[in-house]
């Protein structure tokens, strides 16, 4: 709590400027993220929306400095007022799990199979808060109740493989929340879940976010999930944010042709018998840094000017932005 | 087997036998249990009731959507329909002929059945041979069935064009050189190479990005018309199933919960599980967010399914009768059936309609 009190409440929780990530090896360089600016207010939920290869998960990992060594990260990242890039390994160990926590798509690989759920939660509490073993165990029980795991007391002694998919996902959320992080990074946490379980986990995350006042960055490829949980949406394409804005106006009418196409291609009720609109072609290879609008080759409204340089981020009404020279403010 | 000269050059869709009213595939009482072995001598310690008495009908020219959550047995059903697995019980009738027949009993032999029924899997990479080029992959089955190599190659080029991949550009490539959407197109082309009548699609678009998913769905609709196909479309995505299906089958823990025409299922769902499934879809409208999840908990383990109605442990309407007896299918309107005591007249459930005097 002390760090939170020192912060100006109006200060952004996350501030990334011109973030870039390149994966370099002997043969190739992949430009995964190419100049992303991100702001997240405290207690806000931002959805990073994009297809595979758009750079959304890489961006998320960069915020926690979780990328491997061959990744060249550029630009500045500030989380809770601290420069993530400048942190030492020791500082990072305090930072990860303390100020920032992450949840993943596959809980079975994120949880340790040889420790009980209770032990894994208590370990985080002991490590970060210096609590005694018994205090940490008591906290673990509280957390399992917080994430609404039925018969929590019995489940403390369970190993990850003994839980069903939905409960495992809840247990992973409990581990992440163990030290009341200010920022929760969620990488497609509901993608692998069944429909009836996915909605439970989404509602749980929203409830916990409101209760604990966390900021959340939620990576997803599913527009429906974004509609269910986001305050603000940032759409990524080829390593750049191409549109950003509050979720309501965005869902009602995206401004950039890529999210427009994505919304048209997403099957929902009442489309039966109609032909689906598609986005022709495939995303570009990122082995060369895109020098023009990356979406232009697939864009229905592209014009010669689109080939001249990367489009600037243009403000489009309250809180909205689009990187498209042809976008018009609503 | 020596193929006649006509067979060498032609491989056409098998003719219709039973007429339009005869369902293409009719399945009754399909059962598949998987034993779990353990202990010192590998004794059978439990059994997974993956598919436990499924009846289904696929009519000619329609798309039957099969939906359900993981563990409901939809993929096992697909493999049983394709006869990649042998059912423990149940009978399958393909266009009037019993499947797996022999000369004495009559019916259709598995080899002929498999030529008329083909399958597309979810994992587009795992289902392609990494050492074969695209054209070799597609030409493989026709060659096995006696088509000459040149003819089979020409045919694979035609199919590549039909699934929207330029043969000159793609025929010589290997699976790892293609994107996920392109690989799924190859799988579809391969499934069509034997001119099948029924194509079983097991989550064909689940691993694809949304923009590619739409391309593949459009392609499936086009091919169905062009080649006169019938589809069994298995998916966990209710929106996709609504889009593509004529009739829908909802499965829960190895049983059919509800089946009916797509409009009936989506507009007037009768089974509480179908209602919960439909209500679990995230809304695209942030102003209409839900606050309560329609169901709590996960689907139970199919090893020890609950007694009576299998959904009763999560059902908001469960009563004593649901634990005692398994609900039979109640006929609601033409072709719309639900296995639920609450809609079965005289079942003893509080919400059940009265039997008309």
Walk along chain B (357 residues) and give the pLDDT tens digit of each residue: 444 444 444 678 888 888 888 999 999 999 999 998 887 788 888 889 999 999 999 999 999 999 998 888 998 999 999 999 999 999 999 999 899 866 667 788 888 898 999 999 988 899 999 999 999 999 999 999 889 999 999 999 999 999 999 999 999 999 999 988 899 999 999 999 999 999 999 999 988 888 889 999 999 999 999 999 999 999 999 999 999 999 999 999 999 999 999 999 999 999 999 999 999 998 888 888 888 889 888 888 888 889 999 999 999 999 999 999 999 999 999 899 999 999 999 888 988 887 764
CB-CB neighbors (< 8 A) of B209 in chain A: 51-52, 221
Structural domain total, chain A: 2
Q: Are residues A167 and A217 in the same domain?
A: no
Confidence (pTM): 0.88
DSSP, collapsed to helix, strand or coil, labels residue A83 as strand
CATH code, A277:
3.40.50.300
The two beta strands, B330-333 and B97-98, are unpaired
Residue A296 lies in a domain: yes
Residue A206 lies in a domain: no
- Mark yes or no for CB contact B283/A227 under 8 Å: yes
Q: How far apart are CA B297 and CA B299, in angstroms?
A: 7
Residue A237 lies in a domain: yes
Distance from CA of B213 to the nearest CA of A (A): 8
Q: How far apart are CA B243 and CA A274, in angstroms?
A: 9
- Mark yes or no for CB contact A228/B283 under 8 Å: yes
CB-CB neighbors (< 8 A) of B212 in chain A: 282
CB-CB neighbors (< 8 A) of B285 in chain A: 227, 251
Q: Are residues A53 and A65 in the same domain?
A: yes
CB-CB neighbors (< 8 A) of B290 in chain A: 199, 203, 228
Q: Are residues A146 and A78 in the same domain?
A: no
- Mark yes or no for CB contact A278/B243 under 8 Å: no
CB-CB neighbors (< 8 A) of A163 in chain B: none
- Mark yes or no for CB contact B217/A166 under 8 Å: no
Q: Which two tokens stand for residue B282?
A: 């995230």
Helix ranges restricted to H, chain A:
2-6, 56-63, 89-95, 107-110, 117-129, 133-146, 152-155, 165-177, 195-212, 223-229, 247-252, 257-265
Range of the domain at A233: 2-99+182-194+211-322
Q: Are residues A149 and A256 in the same domain?
A: no
Q: How far apart are CA A174 and CA A64, in angstroms?
A: 19
Residue A204 lies in a domain: no
Residue A327 lies in a domain: no
Domain with CATH 3.40.50.300 in chain B: 18-251
Per-residue pLDDT tens digits for A175-201:
999 999 999 999 999 888 888 889 999
CB-CB neighbors (< 8 A) of A262 in chain B: 210-211
Q: Are residues A69 and A116 in the same domain?
A: no
- Mark yes or no for CB contact B284/A251 under 8 Å: yes
Residue A201 lies in a domain: no
**CATH classification of B18-251, choosing from 3.30.70.560, 3.40.50.300, 1.10.1040.50, 3.40.50.1860?**
3.40.50.300
End-to-end Cα spacing for chain B:
64
Using a CB–CB cut-off of 8 Å, the residues of A that contact B are: 51-52, 150, 164-167, 194-200, 202-203, 221-225, 227-228, 230, 247-248, 251, 261-262, 264-269, 271-272, 275-280, 282
What pLDDT, on a 0 to 100 scale, did the predictor assign at position B6?
46
Q: Are residues A149 and A187 in the same domain?
A: no
- Mark yes or no for CB contact A196/B217 under 8 Å: no
Residue A280 lies in a domain: yes
């Amino acid at each position: 709590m002390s760090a939170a009190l020192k912060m100006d409440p109006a200060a952004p929780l996350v501030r990334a400027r011109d973030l870039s990530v390149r994966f370099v090896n002997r043969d190739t360089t992949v430009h995964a993220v190419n100049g992303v600016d991100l702001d997240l207010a405290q207690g806000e939920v931002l959805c990073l929306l994009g297809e595979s290869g758009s750079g959304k998960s890489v961006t998320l990992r960069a915020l926690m400095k979780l990328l491997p060594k061959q990744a060249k990260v550029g630009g500045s990242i500030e989380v809770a007022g601290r420069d993530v890039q400048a942190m030492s390994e020791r500082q990072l160990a305090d930072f990860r799990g303390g100020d920032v926590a992450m949840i993943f798509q596959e809980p079975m690989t994120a949880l340790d199979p040889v420790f009980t759920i209770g032990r894994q939660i208590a370990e985080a509490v002991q490590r970060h808060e210096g609590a005694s073993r018994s205090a940490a165990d008591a906290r673990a029980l509280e957390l399992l109740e917080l994430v609404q795991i039925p018969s929590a007391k019995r489940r403390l002694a369970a190993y990850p493989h003994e839980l069903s998919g939905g409960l495992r996902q809840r247990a992973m959320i409990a581990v992440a929340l163990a030290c009341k992080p200010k920022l929760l990074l969620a990488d497609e946490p509901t993608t692998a879940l069944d429909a009836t379980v996915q909605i439970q986990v989404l509602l749980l995350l929203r409830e916990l976010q409101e209760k604990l006042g966390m900021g959340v960055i939620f990576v997803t490829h599913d527009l429906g999930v974004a509609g269910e949980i986001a305050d603000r949406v940032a759409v990524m394409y080829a390593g750049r944010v191409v549109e950003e804005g509050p979720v309501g106006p965005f869902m009602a009418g995206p401004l950039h042709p890529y999210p427009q196409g994505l919304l048209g291609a997403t099957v929902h009720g009442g489309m039966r018998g109609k032909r689906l609109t598609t986005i022709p072609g495939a995303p570009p290879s990122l082995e060369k840094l895109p020098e023009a609008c990356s979406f232009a080759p697939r864009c229905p409204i592209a014009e010669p000017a689109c080939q001249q340089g990367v489009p600037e981020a243009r403000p489009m009404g309250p809180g909205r932005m689009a990187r498209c020279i042809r976008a018009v403010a609503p | 087997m020596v193929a006649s000269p006509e067979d060498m050059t032609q491989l056409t869709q098998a003719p219709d036998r039973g007429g339009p009213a005869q369902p293409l595939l009719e399945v009754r009482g399909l059962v598949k249990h998987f034993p779990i072995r353990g202990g010192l001598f590998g004794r059978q310690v439990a059994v997974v009731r993956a598919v436990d008495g499924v009846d289904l009908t696929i009519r000619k020219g329609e798309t039957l959507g099969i939906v359900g959550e993981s563990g409901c047995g939809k993929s096992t059903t697909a493999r049983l329909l394709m006869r990649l697995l042998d059912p423990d019980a149940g009978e399958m009738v393909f266009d009037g002929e019993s499947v797996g027949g022999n000369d004495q009993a009559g019916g259709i032999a598995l080899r002929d059945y498999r030529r008329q029924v083909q399958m597309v899997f979810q994992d587009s990479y795992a289902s392609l041979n990494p050492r074969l080029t695209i054209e070799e992959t597609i030409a493989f089955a026709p060659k096995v069935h006696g088509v000459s190599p040149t003819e089979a190659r020409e045919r694979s080029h035609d199919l590549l064009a039909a699934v929207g991949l330029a043969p000159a550009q793609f025929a010589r490539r290997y699976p790892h050189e293609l994107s996920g959407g392109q690989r799924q197109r190859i799988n579809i082309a391969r499934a069509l190479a034997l001119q099948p009548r029924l194509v079983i699609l097991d989550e064909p678009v689940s691993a694809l990005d949304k923009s590619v998913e739409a391309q593949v769905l459009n392609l499936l609709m086009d091919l169905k018309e062009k080649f006169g196909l019938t589809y069994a479309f298995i998916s966990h995505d209710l929106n996709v199933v609504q889009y593509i299906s004529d009739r829908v089958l909802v499965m829960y823990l190895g049983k059919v919960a509800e089946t009916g025409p797509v409009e009936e299922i989506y507009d007037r769902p009768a089974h509480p599980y179908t209602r919960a499934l439909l209500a679990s879809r995230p809304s695209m409208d942030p102003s209409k967010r839900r606050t309560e999840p329609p169901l709590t908990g996960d689907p139970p383990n199919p090893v020890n399914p609950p007694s009576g109605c299998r959904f009763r442990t999560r059902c908001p309407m469960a009563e004593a009768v649901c634990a005692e007896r398994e609900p039979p299918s109640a006929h609601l309107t033409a072709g719309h059936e639900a296995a639920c005591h609450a809609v079965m007249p005289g079942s003893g459930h509080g919400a059940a309609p009265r039997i008309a005097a």
